Amino acid sequence: MRNHRALGWLLLPIMTACALLGRPNFMPPWRQDHIKFPHARHAKADVECLACHETVYDAEDLQARHLPGEDKCLECHAEEKEQGRCIFCHTDVQAAQPREASLPSLEFSHVKHLERTEEDCARCHTALSEPKRGGETVAMDRCLGCHEHKVTFREGRCDQCHTDLVKERVQPLREFTHQGNFVLQHRFSARASSESCMLCHTQNQCVDCHNATPPVRVELRRPEAVTSNFIHRNDFISRHNIEAQADPAQCFRCHGNSFCNDCHRMQNLTSTGSNPRNPHPRGWVMGGTELHGAAARRDIQQCASCHDQGPQSNCIQCHQVGGVGGNPHPPGWNLDHNRNDIQLNGMCQYCHLR
């Protein structure tokens, strides 16, 4: 069953690619047809914007593109079509297909704005598309010329207007820029305002680094990202115990508590390995508090990295109540723990009631 499941994962991209390719009118990115429309030449010929984009009169959202159909072009350019000069308008007529529906990423009503601007489209559309320049979107400062949006901006509630910033890729302003050492600071933003992060990002970006089940280190996936502050760069395994001692909490953010033990077991470093190798010096156990006891007080996580097997942990054998190892709790333990806590914590009962 396990193998079948794994095979399923490997087939995922293939099946998804098939699903993509099977979409009606799917065309790879390098085979796209574009209409070559020179706005400047039409404006010079005194063609009104609304003569072609007349549906914009009733547009209360951006669901439709409001682009004229071919019949509108043929009102003036029927001759070129009759002569078979498709290239007069199309860049690759073989790839021509119906326009995809608009996927608006902005709340905007043309109806309200046409009234206020007295049908002067150029108040907002300052730079129109030309055949060799591509399309130009309206810059946000055209909006802010009339609307202040102070409160929504301060609160980071961009979604009042921008319904899809992931698609829009608007570069953030001032507070929302990731200046300085943002990688180090981003934890505060994520804790307090993850919904603001999600306005522009999806978790597909988070999971590259924050992943409980990573298949391969991000350093290997992106070897060209030499300026990124990756944690496990190059020969991390040789220095992992030093890094873990410096900040164990950072390790455990992604790796579970028994990750160390599980990996060390495969290396035969734990007592539950198939042929375990003992890394401790002579007298480690019988030396008592001077050796393993003192080490446990100082860095219990290092002990847990090999010996955390729950009730099977070899600590219990000696340190349970009445055992030869004596009381393992740190000084002052009884001050802080009520005896009734034993009833509440099943783990205590492995030593105290069995």
Partner 1 sequence: MRRHELLATLALVTTTTVPAYALAPEVKATTLLQLRQDPRDGSVYTTVPAYTLFNLQARKVRLVKKMEADVVVSSWGRINGGDPVDRGYLNGDISLAYLESRAGPFGVRAGRQLVFDGVARGAHLDGIAASARPWEGLGVSVFAGAPVVPLLQDHRGLAMAGGRVSWRKSYDTQLGISALHVLEQGRHAHQHVGLDGRTALMRMLVLSWMVRWSTLPGSSTLLALWPRTKDGGDLEAMLARAVAPAEALQRALPSLAEADLALSFQPLEALQVTAEYRRTSLSLFIPRSSIFSVFSAEQRDQLGATVATRIRQWLTFDVDAAALSTASGFGAQGGARLATRLGPRRSTTLGTQARVLKVPSSGFLMARAFGSQKLPLGLSTTVDGDVYLLEKPVHGQRFTAMVSWTNGIMFRPGWDVALQVAAGSSPLATARVEALARVSYNAGIPLP
Partner residues linked to 90 by β-bridges: 35
- For partner 1, which residue of 137, 241, 271, 317 counts as binding (CB under 8 A)? 241
Instruction: Residue 270: name the closest of 282, 257, 258 by CA.
Output: 258
Q: Rounded distance, CA 285 to CA 181, Å?
A: 46
Neighbouring C-beta atoms of residue 75, cutoff 10 Å: 10
Q: Cβ distance 105 to 162 under 8 Å?
A: yes
**SS3 at position 162:** strand
Q: Rounded distance, CA 88 to CA 84, Å?
A: 9
Q: Is residue 132 at the binding interface for partner 1, with CB under 8 A as the rule?
A: no
Residue closer to partner 1 (CB basis): 74 or 173: 173
Q: Cβ distance 161 to 106 under 8 Å?
A: yes
Q: Which stretch binds partner 1 (CB under 8 A): 36-44, 87-95, 244-252, 282-290?
A: 244-252
- For partner 1, which residue of 259, 272, 323, 325 counts as binding (CB under 8 A)? 259
Sketch the per residue contact string, 290 through 329, with partner 1: x for CB under 8 A, - otherwise. Answer: ------xxxxxx-xx--xx-xx-x-xx-----------xx
Q: Cβ distance 196 to 189 under 8 Å?
A: yes
Restricted to residues 162-181, the positions that interact with partner 1 (CB under 8 A) are 164, 166-167, 169, 175-176, 179-181
Restricted to residues 260-289, the positions that interact with partner 1 (CB under 8 A) are 262-263, 266-268, 277
Q: Is residue 233 at the binding interface for partner 1, with CB under 8 A as the rule?
A: yes
Q: Is residue 1 at the binding interface for partner 1, with CB under 8 A as the rule?
A: yes
Residue closer to partner 1 (CB basis): 49 or 190: 190
In angstroms, give the least distance from the CB of 311 to partner 1: 8
Q: Is residue 93 at the binding interface for partner 1, with CB under 8 A as the rule?
A: no
In angstroms, give the least distance from the CB of 211 to partner 1: 5
27: left (phi over 0), alpha (psi -120 to 50) or beta: beta
Q: Cβ distance 105 to 168 under 8 Å?
A: yes
Q: Rounded distance, CA 320 to CA 348, Å?
A: 10
**How big is the CA angle at 147 (ends 145 and 149), to the nearest 5 degrees?**
125
Neighbouring C-beta atoms of residue 110, cutoff 10 Å: 21
User: Which long-range contacts (C-beta less than 8 Å, at least 24 apart) are formed by 348-353?
Assistant: 350/311, 350/316, 350/320, 351/316, 351/319, 351/320, 351/321, 351/323, 352/320, 352/321
Residue closer to partner 1 (CB basis): 174 or 282: 174
Residue closer to partner 1 (CB basis): 20 or 40: 20
Restricted to residues 196-225, the positions that interact with partner 1 (CB under 8 A) are 196, 201-216, 220-225
In angstroms, give the least distance from the CB of 47 to partner 1: 31
Q: Rounded distance, CA 318 to CA 324, Å?
A: 5
Restricted to residues 16-45, the positions that interact with partner 1 (CB under 8 A) are 16-20, 22-23, 29-30
- For partner 1, which residue of 120, 155, 173, 353 counts as binding (CB under 8 A)? 155
In angstroms, give the least distance from the CB of 89 to partner 1: 24
Residue closer to partner 1 (CB basis): 83 or 213: 213
Total chain residues near partner 1 (CB under 8 A): 132
In angstroms, give the least distance from the CB of 73 to partner 1: 26
In angstroms, give the least distance from the CB of 130 to partner 1: 21
Q: Which stretch binds partner 1 (CB under 8 A): 46-54, 65-73, 126-134, 153-161?
A: 153-161
- For partner 1, which residue of 134, 135, 148, 249 counts as binding (CB under 8 A)? 249
- For partner 1, which residue of 94, 98, 132, 226 counts as binding (CB under 8 A)? 226
Q: Rounded distance, CA 348 to CA 305, Å?
A: 20
Q: Is residue 350 at the binding interface for partner 1, with CB under 8 A as the rule?
A: yes
Name the token pair of 189: 């933003």
**SS3 at position 113:** helix
